[in-house]
Amino acid sequence: MNLSALLTSAGINIGLCTLYLSLYSILRKQPSFLYVYFGRQLTQRNNNFLDAFNLERFVPSPSWIVKAWGLTEEEILSVGGLDAVVFLRIFVFSLRIFSIAAFVCVFGVLPINYFGQEMQHTRISAESLEVFTIANVKEGSRWLWVHCAALYVITCSACSLLYFEYKSISKMKLDYIIGSPPKPSHFTVLVRGIPKSIGEPLGDTIRNFFLHYHGSSYLGHQIICRRGKLQNFFSNAKMVYKKIFCFEVTALDNTCRSGLCRCGLCGGVSNSFRFYPDNFYERRTDLHCIDLSSHQKECSSAFVFFKTRYAAIVASKVLQTSNPMLWVTDLAPEPNDVYWRNLWIPYRQLWVRRIATLLASIVFMFLFLIPVTFVQGLTQLEQMRHMLSFLKGIPNKAFVIQFVSGYLPSVILQLFLYTVPPTMMLFSTLEGPVSRSVRKKSALCKVLYFTIWNIFFVNVLSGSLITQLSLITRPKDIPAHLAKDVPRQATFFMTYVLALGWTSLSSEVLQSYSVLYHLTRKYIFRCKDDPSLVPSFPYHTEVPKVLLFGLLGFTCSILAPLILPFLLVYFFLGYLVYRNQILNVYSTSYDSGGRMWPIVHNTTVFSLVLTQIIALGVFGIKASQMASAFTIPLLIITLLFSEYCKKHFYPIFRDLSAQDFIDMDRDDEQCGRMPKIHEQLFTAYAWLAPPPPPPITGALELCYVDGEPDSPVQVTI
Amino acid sequence: MNLSALLTSAGINIGLCTLYLSLYSILRKQPSFLYVYFGRQLTQRNNNFLDAFNLERFVPSPSWIVKAWGLTEEEILSVGGLDAVVFLRIFVFSLRIFSIAAFVCVFGVLPINYFGQEMQHTRISAESLEVFTIANVKEGSRWLWVHCAALYVITCSACSLLYFEYKSISKMKLDYIIGSPPKPSHFTVLVRGIPKSIGEPLGDTIRNFFLHYHGSSYLGHQIICRRGKLQNFFSNAKMVYKKIFCFEVTALDNTCRSGLCRCGLCGGVSNSFRFYPDNFYERRTDLHCIDLSSHQKECSSAFVFFKTRYAAIVASKVLQTSNPMLWVTDLAPEPNDVYWRNLWIPYRQLWVRRIATLLASIVFMFLFLIPVTFVQGLTQLEQMRHMLSFLKGIPNKAFVIQFVSGYLPSVILQLFLYTVPPTMMLFSTLEGPVSRSVRKKSALCKVLYFTIWNIFFVNVLSGSLITQLSLITRPKDIPAHLAKDVPRQATFFMTYVLALGWTSLSSEVLQSYSVLYHLTRKYIFRCKDDPSLVPSFPYHTEVPKVLLFGLLGFTCSILAPLILPFLLVYFFLGYLVYRNQILNVYSTSYDSGGRMWPIVHNTTVFSLVLTQIIALGVFGIKASQMASAFTIPLLIITLLFSEYCKKHFYPIFRDLSAQDFIDMDRDDEQCGRMPKIHEQLFTAYAWLAPPPPPPITGALELCYVDGEPDSPVQVTI
């Protein structure tokens, strides 16, 4: 591939992006797609947008870019929570570090690569891209110290930027905790592994235990119940009824009709789905005689409420009894964040589940090499035909061959890649986390490892299953392999950034799947817009993507600096696009409190270390003793820096500090807010419904202990 | 080596052991060696043993064995603490598991090994030892399932025995904590990283912080100070004076004269070291005008006392402030256990120290290969002469060659091995632990890794530096290598158990170094017996030794079962010897509360897994698909078992439970013991002197807070 081909490819992609973004700027102004492009705003404000027809709606405009650019960090914090801010900080950090890297590498390293060998340079646009990589520098060159110096500049800037980011995000997290209104989760502890006493109700066991050992701070508790079969049957029946009812209401509902969309193609008002307008809730008098609550199974878990935040944190930190599998305490997740389906999982199962899903993820990661190998085989169709006889039936026409070898592989690969985030999310669900944010974080890690392994390493180590497996067993050879292969694959990574990076941003902003789904739902199934369908931000797919581009940037920076300008465009565009998406599209029903930053930090440090190891390999191949010798201290400094950050900042993301909580408690007590907070606690977890909403059964018994209400309210999942 | 040679070697070693033990049974009855053989008892009881001459003193007797055998576990607990009990439990466990293994392997595996190939068996005593190992079983043998079954029996028995041991030791630990008299460490928290406020004394900062955030439970605190240079000078002067004074007193002291030992050889009453009998303490009036306390440097650490155990544990568990490097809290070690010299180390240095010592230990472990390679070279003296010209000067006489190649290597290696525990202890000290038990535990781990690597792996992988380093880079080949080499090295390991195992026990009981040191001290330097010189149990050297023999037993069990009877003798003898040593010799000034059991457990699981990996390699070499296939589930089960134990028992060794502490607090409150405990707290850490004792300076200010004494007593180190 030569430079002009790359620039052509870049041009095509710029054109495509412009087209996509223009399309977006038109579609977003159509009232039919309000729920696709303004889902978050609609669920929050219930605004009625003007439905009048005007020409302006069909003219592309950059107004959304201006809006997205103008957002302040405080606005993003209030709109998307701390997670959104942290996510955007990845872009800010990447823009900063890759600006420095681009400056250093384009003006320092690139000329040295280009003039690295005594050769006749042709016209620059016809030059092969190899000429711009370190592969063009001759062995034993005196100029390799420039690469080493560039590596120093990049590493030192990255470390200092990472340090200030970590520091500022830690501060932001603390301010967020201190500044936010009282949260029920701060007063609540999730207790698991409650032992069952014979002849004593579970509620009494819990009350007795906490009154005895935490009497001065115990406020009440709430048992978690699992629905029995009969209950499941009834709730399913209710759900089916509700769906049918919803169809029927939609069929009669004409408010969503717009001037443009009510064309014949989408169907008019349809009466084909008319049902008898009965009311389940009114007719169920005969069901009342069945005592549903007797069919509930009490799980050995409960939410226990404390009078102060400090008491809750103490109860969650201290080992309760000398049997570590009983009375296991943890700070509860926020009510919106609770993943109700996993609350019934017995605590003693968790470690087995964790190991099993870890193994399953690893197996999945390696099994994925099979489609990759198959797809790589398709590109060499002739070879495949020799090997596999059933392929001989494929007609030998030019367009078939082009289709099979040129287009099909990437389609198949992309289809397989689409299965990864849902599979990892499934594994993370089976792992048994009790909160949605932890589930997403766990899926994020899995997808991240998968991406780095299958996109970076598999491509660099050039493909086939056997090559890689044999490499794992010879770790010593890995740096040399990487050093040889990364510059060679740099061209591929550049096109990867252009094609997949830029395009993924355009399709993210266009939300093509969401548009299709929305259209199908609205005009074929004739459902009303449902605010509960507004998605939450898919951090588990987006963060790994962004971090992968960071990894590509670091590893290619001194080897093939041409990638850096394209990356800068990606990060800048991404910064705008995701600000827009956070503001308009995704709902923020739960927040992990920026807990993804340590992952981002560690991945970036990993990228730096990998870059240094590859550089070490390259300097070794190029026989530059001095550069190799200078890289080793850099490696050690980077690892020490990582350890320093782990000691200084990580505990803030793991634990909450006594000082802050005590201060907050005292504030609330002095202002007299405490009684109201306590009152709200009992309803915070009790009346919250998991999607689909659970029927709340069981009588609301209230008894008083020390003048405080102690409510054994039961929540059913 | 053939069987008769092995039995001869065993016979010689049995003879040597009997000789040593008889010698011990005589020496122990000599009053001169009372402090060597009954150090612990003397420091505790101050008994005056009868000094009369009688013939019985010179007749060997097995009475000590009877006494050691008759000890109950309760007696050991009261004498040697929980650590001693846990240490002896290693022997009990080893005896049990290796009895089972010996039964299964000697009657099941050994015949199959012996008749594994169709060959003419000679007289059994002249048979090579190779015939008894798995190397003799022919490839593809149908009988390898016996080995696999034996592996199953051994693994399952080991796991169940480990489970019950872990369970019973956990229970014992809990009973020990609950049953023991109130300990100051349970009420005390060591606070490090206290921020210095300008214009405010450190004591006020601490008091203000804890009164503000833990006001209801804070009792008082005690600042730790480091001595200034002037103070160091004075205390050194005092020490020198004390030593001289001690010499003089000893020279005048005739009480230690015994009828036998006052011979001409040891010297009579010597007046050659007479000094002017002045008293430092009376003459130092002129020093009083110097205010020593002004030269102390306040460390940013303090002991903080709480009113209840529960409050202390809460304060130690919860992150105090949002800066994780400030106000770092940990439960304090017992007063006797505090390692005073490390208390001054700033908390922010610790992580660097930990990484540095880890690296230093690894480097040391690998550097040790150099003397090993050198020593292995000495055994091939002729080759060495060709390579190194300076060796040509060695005369070519037979006895010189025999000496250099036969005797010198083991002496050099042994000398190098003696440097390992002190070096590792030095590394552990530099790491910065604040308690002596943690320091010893850390040294134990380091020596353990060192021993397993340098004795097991280096010997198995047959020596030279390069072979091993290249193996590390090819982890896939390790099982096959081990499978080939372990049976080959089984003979060496058998002689190792005979020579080093049995002999080490004899020399342990005889305490030859201690005897020599004692004699030198007493009769040449004429010092009095000093109770502070009674050593504490060297767990860091003994535990790795015992665990290494366990590892040898497991790995050789199905490969070369002949080792098992010798190991059983070792463990039985060790059981007796160490019971005797714990009862009589070693002092118990501090106790880690059985915290070494998790290490023992993990090492045993590691040994099991290693055995299975080696078996997998062997079955692979012997081309037994079935046996290989059946070993893999065993491996998985063992790892799951390890994880199970980690979840169910390990937290008990790491944390103390709220339930137990609250119950203990209530008991003490109801019995009215609390005020007395609080009173004792203030002196527990204040007046305790590190060896050598520090001068306690600084006025004893007492102020009262909420009716409770709050003493900013300063302790100087």
Q: B580-605 pLDDT, tens per residue?
A: 888 888 888 888 888 999 999 999 99
pLDDT at residue B386, rounded to an integer:
66
The answer to whether residue B136 is domain-embedded is yes
Candidates B242, B38, B37, B184; CA nearest to B691 is: B242
State how far the Cα of B270 lies from the Cα of A709, in Å rounded to an integer: 85
Q: Give residue B308's pLDDT.
A: 92
In this complex, do B657 and A320 lie within 8 Å of one another by their Cβ atoms?
yes
pLDDT at residue B111 tops 60: yes
Q: Do A192 and A131 share a structural domain?
A: no
Q: What is the DSSP code string of B641-680? A: HHHHHHHHTHHHHH---HHHHHHHHHHHHHTT-HHHHHHH
Choose between B397 and B283: higher pLDDT. Answer: B397
Whether the CB-CB separation of A155 and A608 falls below 8 Å is answered with: yes
Minimum distance, in Å, between the CA of residue A200 and any CA atom of chain B: 20
Residue B286, token pair as written in the block? 């002129």
Residue numbers of B between 450 and 489 with CB closer than 8 Å to A: 473-477
Tell whether A588 and A548 lie within a shared domain. yes
Asked if A647 and B324 come within 8 Å (Cβ–Cβ), the reply is yes
Least-confidence region, from A321-335, A350-364, B285-299:
B285-299
Inter-chain contact B662–A355, Cβ cutoff 8 Å? Answer: no
Categorize the per-residue pLDDT at A377 as very low, low, confident or very high, splitting at 50, 70 and 90: low
CA distance linking residue A432 with residue A442, whole number of Å: 11
Q: Let me know if residue A556 belongs to a domain.
A: yes
Which of A320-334, B255-269, B294-308, B451-465 shows the lowest per-residue confidence on average (mean pLDDT)? B255-269
Question: Measured between alpha carbons, how far is A656 from A310 in angstroms, rounded to an integer?
Answer: 10
Q: How far is B647 from chain A (nearest CA, A)?
A: 7
DSSP letters of B678-704? HHHHHHHTTSPPPSSPPP--S----EE
Q: Hey, are the CB atoms on B658 and A319 less than 8 Å from each other?
A: yes
C-alpha closest to that of A347 among A188, A204, A191, A222? A191
Residues A65 and A84 both lie in one domain: yes
Q: Which of A579, A539, A554 is nearest to A444 (CA)?
A: A539
Answer left, alpha or beta for residue B94, where phi above 0 means left and psi between -120 and 50 means alpha. Answer: alpha
Position A230 scores a pLDDT of: 62
Confidence band of B688 (pLDDT split at 50, 70, 90): very low
Q: Which domain holds residue A218?
A: 185-346+711-716
SS3 (DSSP) at B716: strand
Q: Do both A551 and A475 map to the same domain? A: yes
What is the end-to-end Cα distance of chain B in Å, rounded?
Answer: 58
Q: Does residue A163 sit in the same domain as residue A191?
A: no
Q: Is the pLDDT of residue B636 over 60?
A: yes
Give one DSSP letter per residue of A364-410, joined into a string. HHHHTHHHHHHHHHHHTHHHHHHH-GGGGGS---HHHHHIIIIIHHH
Q: Measure A653 CA to nearest chain B CA, in Å.
A: 10
Position B573, amino acid: L
- For chain B, give percent helix, strand, coil, nearest 5: 70, 5, 25
With an 8 Å Cβ cutoff, are A321 and B659 in contact? Answer: yes
CB A443 within 8 A of CB A421: yes
More confident residue, A402 or A413: A413
Same domain, A171 and A200: no
Q: Does residue B319 sit at the A interface (CB-CB below 8 Å)?
A: yes
CA angle B646, B647, B651 (to 5 degrees): 85
Q: Would you say residue B306 has pLDDT above 90?
A: yes
The tokens for B117 are 């190939």
Residue A407 pLDDT: 63
| B554 vs B558: CA distance, rounded Å | 8
- Specify the length of chain A in residues: 717
Q: Is residue A378 part of a domain?
A: no
Amino acid residing at A101:
A
E strands along B186-233, which residues?
Answer: 188-192, 218-226
The torsion defined by the Cα of B619, B621, B626 and B630, in degrees rounded to 10, comes to 40
Tokens of A359: 């193994």
Q: What is the mean pLDDT of residues B15-20?
A: 85
**Model confidence at A280: pLDDT above 50:** no
User: What's the rounded mean pLDDT across residues A598-604?
Assistant: 95
Instruction: Report in angstroms the alpha-carbon separations of A408 from A412, A501, A636, B589, B642.
Output: 6, 20, 45, 75, 47
| Mean pLDDT, all residues of chain A | 79
Looking at the complex, does the CB of residue A705 fall below 8 Å from at least one CB of chain B?
Answer: no
Helix/strand/coil (H/E/C) assignment for every residue in B106-149? HHHHHHHHHCCCCCCCCCHHHCEHHHHCHHHCCCCCCCHHHHHH
Q: Does the pLDDT at position B551 exceed 90? A: yes
| Mutation for B interface: A175, A308, A318, A667, most B CBs within 10 A | A318
What is the number of alpha carbons within 13 Å of residue B240 lying toward its C-beta? 6
Give a yes or no: residue A408 inside a domain.
Answer: no
For residue A188, give the H/E element and its range. strand A188-192
Of B322, B643, B659, the CB nearest to A320: B659
**Residue B677, exposed/middle/buried by CB under 10 A (0-12, 13-18, 19+)?**
buried
Cα separations in angstroms, B317 against A74, A319, B194: 34, 10, 17
Testing the interface with B: which of A319, A355, A639 to mutate, by most B Cβ within 10 A? A319
| Mean per-residue pLDDT, B63-82 | 84
Q: Which among B321, B474, B651 is the nearest to A319, CB-wise?
A: B651
> Rounded to an integer, what distance in angstroms lies between the CA atom of residue A19 and that of residue A507?
11
pLDDT for A685: 83
Grouping H, G, I as helix, E, B as strand and the rest as coil, residue A561 is coil
DSSP string, A522-558: IIIS-PPP-GGGSPBP-HHHHHHHHHHHHHHHHHHHT
Is the same domain home to A160 and A202? no
Q: Please tell me the distance in Å from A36's CA to the nearest CA on chain B.
A: 41
Query: Does the pLDDT value for residue A274 go beyond 50?
Result: no
What part of A 383-422 touches B (C-beta under 8 Å)? none
pLDDT for position B430: 93
Taking contacts as CB-CB distances below 8 angstroms, the residues of chain A near B324 are: 647-652
Contact B322 A660 (CB under 8 A): yes
B242-275 pLDDT tens trace: 666 655 554 444 444 443 444 434 444 444 433 4
Residue A296: pLDDT above 50?
yes
* Within-domain flag for A688: no
Residue B561 lies in a domain: yes
Position A701 scores a pLDDT of 32
Asked if residue B461 lies in contact with residue B485, where contact means CB atoms within 8 angstroms, the answer is yes
Distance CA B77, CA B92 (A): 15
User: With contact defined as beta carbons under 8 Å apart, do B471 and B461 qualify?
Assistant: yes
In the predicted structure, residue A529 carries a pLDDT above the cut 70: no
- Does residue A560 have a pLDDT over 80? yes
ipTM of the complex: 0.81
Residue B253's Cβ-count burial label (10 Å; 0-12, 13-18, 19+) is middle
Residues B580 and B64 sit within 8 Å (Cβ to Cβ): yes
pLDDT, position A447 = 94
Q: Give A316 to chain B, closest Cα distance, Å.
A: 10
The pLDDT confidence band at residue A73, using thresholds 50, 70 and 90, is confident
Which distant-in-sequence residues (6+ apart) come within 8 Å of A436 by Cβ?
A: A333, A337, A338, A339, A590
Amino acid type, A32: S
Among B170, B314, B322, the residue with its CB nearest the CB of A174 is B322
Of B325, B644, B648, the CB nearest to A648: B325
Q: Is the pLDDT of residue B673 over 50?
A: yes
The highest-confidence range among A563-572, A622-631, B269-278, B480-489, by mean pLDDT, is: A563-572
Considering the domain architecture, whether residues A108 and A243 belong to the same structural domain is answered as no
Identify any residues that bridge with A298 across adjacent strands, giving them in sequence order: A225
Say which DSSP state A194 is in.
P
Nearest beta carbon to residue A322 from set B317, B477, B652: B652
Q: Which two tokens stand for residue A192?
A: 């698991």
**How far is B52 from B63, CA to CA, in rounded Å?**
20
pLDDT of A87 > 60? The answer is yes
| pLDDT at residue B403, rounded to an integer | 65
At A138 the pLDDT is 81
State how far the Cα of B450 lies from the Cα of B365, in Å rounded to an integer: 6
The answer on A494 and A632 residing in a single domain is yes
How many independent structural domains does chain B possess?
Answer: 1
Q: Which of A321-330, A363-372, A698-707 has the lowest mean pLDDT?
A: A698-707
pLDDT, tens digit (0-9, with 9 covering 90-100), for A446-480: 999 999 988 888 777 765 444 555 666 666 677 77
User: Does A317 contact B at CB distance below 8 Å?
Assistant: yes
Domain presence at residue B414? no
DSSP B446-486: HHHHHHIIIIIIHHHTTS-HHHHHHHHT-GGGHHHHHHHHH
- B232 three-state secondary structure: helix
Rounded to an integer, the average pLDDT of B337-348 is 88
Q: In what order do the strands lie in the sheet with B713-716?
A: B328-331, B188-192, B297-306, B218-226, B713-716
Whether the predicted pLDDT of B424 surpasses 90: yes
Residues in Cβ contact with A306 at an 8 Å cutoff, skipping those fewer than 6 apart: A187, A188, A189, A214, A217, A218, A219, A312, A315
Flag if A324 and B647 touch (Cβ within 8 Å): yes
Task: Compare CB distances from B657 to A317, A321, A644 and report the shortest one's residue.
Answer: A321
Residue from the list B324, B655, B662 with its beta carbon closest to the beta carbon of A213: B662
Does A227 share its domain with A151?
no
Domain identity same for A225 and A176: no
Measured torsion, CA atoms of residues A258, A260, A264, A270, in degrees rounded to the nearest 10? -10
Contact B319 A657 (CB under 8 A): yes
Among A543-557, B222-236, B304-318, the least confident range: B222-236
Distance CA B330, CA B122 (A): 67
More confident residue, A401 or B628: B628
Q: How far away is chain B from the Cα of A366, in angstroms, using its nearest Cα?
A: 17
| pLDDT confidence bin for A412, thresholds 50/70/90 | confident
Q: Which of B644, B650, B659 minimises the CB distance to A322?
A: B659
| pLDDT in the model for residue A473 | 61
Contacts of B325 in chain A (CB under 8 A): 647-648
How high is the pLDDT of residue B423? 93
Query: Domain boundary at A636, A654, A672, which?
Result: A654
One-letter amino acid for residue B249 of the chain:
V
User: How are the residues of chain A apportioned to helix, strand and coil, as percentages rounded to the nearest 5?
Assistant: 70, 5, 25
Beta carbons of A65 and A576 less than 8 angstroms apart: yes
CA angle (A667 as vertex; A663, A669 as ends), nearest 5 = 115
Q: Which residue has the higher pLDDT, A130 or B365?
A: B365
Q: How many CB pairs under 8 A join A and B?
A: 98
CA distance B383 to chain A (A): 32
Residue A626 lies in a domain: yes
Show the tokens assigned to A136: 């063009």
Q: What pLDDT, on the 0 to 100 scale, is given for residue B471?
A: 60
What are the backbone dihedrals phi and psi of residue A189, each rounded to the nearest 5 degrees, phi first?
Answer: -120, 135
